Amino acid sequence: MTPSDTQPPRRGQTPVLDQTSQNVPLTVDDVKRIISQAQVASTDPVAVGLQIFNNLGDNITVFGDILRQALTDSSVAVDGPLSALVAAAQNITKIGSRVAVTNSEEIKTEIGGTAIKFKSLVTFDVGTEGGFPTVSNIQGAAAHKVFWFDITTIQLREDQGKKIVHVVTSGGARDFSLS
């Protein structure tokens, strides 16, 4: 490994996950177990989604068909804008905390009246920040409000007992109440 291999990508660069390591393909039962663990930890759909990515393990691959079958078998309804993402997912690879989602094509959808697009390759880091589940260093996702703004961080927060999704873009930050 060269020193540049261990450096995080510079802003604007698409990181390339190390494809030389052997990733373990997860089965439907593996993914169902991860979904079940996430559902035990929280009933909030956003928290469950973030927890699923955190619980995937290291050096894994989940093929889109496996993901869709596990969601169906687990009775997880994927409605609205997420349905387009799940339908287009070809595979998800996680190495350490870095996740890469390969979609069959660029996806455009709408969330709460805001146009959102996802490139055919979306990458991000999963973890916690300040005790809150966080998806950071996002590349390949953008929101449209007059201009397209890159989405860089999504964090589930709590404020006075209310769940909030904190979204940071290249144009600023905004909170969305889930309650």
One-letter-per-residue 3-state SS of 9-65? CCCCCCCCCCCCCCCEECCHHHHHHHHHHHHHHCCCHHHHHHHHHHHCCCCEEEEHH
Predicted local confidence at residue 85, as pLDDT: 86
7, exposed or middle or buried, with CB in 10 Å at 0-12, 13-18, 19+? exposed
β-bridge mates for residue 32, sequence order: none
β-bridge mates for residue 122, sequence order: 101
Confidence of residue 5 (pLDDT cuts 50, 70, 90): very low
Can you give the residue ranges of every domain in the chain? 22-177
Q: What does the pLDDT look like over 13-72, one tens digit per residue?
A: 333 444 445 789 999 999 999 999 888 877 777 777 778 888 888 899 999 999 999 999
Predicted local confidence at residue 169, as pLDDT: 95
Q: What does the pLDDT look like over 126-139, one tens digit per residue?
A: 988 888 889 999 99
Predicted local confidence at residue 16, as pLDDT: 44
CB-CB contact of 93 with 58 (8 Å): no
Element (H, E) at 5: helix 3-6
* Cα–Cα distance for residue pair 62/132, rounded to 1 Å: 25
Residue 176: strand, helix, or coil: strand
* Cα–Cα distance for residue pair 148/126, rounded to 1 Å: 24
Task: Calculate mean pLDDT across residues 146-171.
Answer: 91
* Cα–Cα distance for residue pair 87/81, rounded to 1 Å: 10
Asked if residue 115 has pLDDT above 70, the reply is yes
* Cα–Cα distance for residue pair 138/127, rounded to 1 Å: 12
